[in-house]
């Protein structure tokens, strides 16, 4: 599960999901579970670790924003959208 806080625009969420689907090795499926009060929860089916997913997200430079990792557990990455 990927929890992203501070998602002010739906295009940011689309950019994150598209990056996961198309550019991160080992990602089989990305499903949006919820998006409310600027917090998005995505279910990511992944061959790999939460740590590797977090590293890929943190290294990616999205158009107009970046991702900072807040917390990593065995099955969950919590991230924040930063400018």
pLDDT confidence of residue 78 = 98
Tell me the pairing of strands 2-5 and 77-82: parallel
pLDDT confidence of residue 41 = 98
What is the Rg, in whole angstroms, of the alpha carbon atoms belonging to the chain?
11
Strand ranges in 1-83 using DSSP code E only, listed in sequence order:
2-5, 27-36, 39-46, 61-62, 65-72, 77-82
| Consecutive 10-residue averages of pLDDT for the chain (83 residues) | 96 96 94 97 96 95 95 96 91
Which pTM does this prediction carry? 0.93
pLDDT confidence of residue 38 = 96
């Amino acid at each position: 599960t990927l929890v992203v806080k501070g998602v002010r625009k739906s295009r940011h969420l689309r950019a994150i999901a598209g990056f996961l689907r198309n550019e991160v090795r080992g990602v089989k499926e990305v499903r949006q579970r919820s998006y409310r009060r600027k917090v998005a929860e995505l279910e990511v089916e992944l061959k790999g670790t939460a740590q590797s997913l977090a590293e890929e997200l943190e290294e990616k430079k999205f158009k107009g924003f970046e991702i900072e990792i807040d917390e990593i557990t065995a099955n969950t990455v919590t991230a924040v959208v930063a400018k």
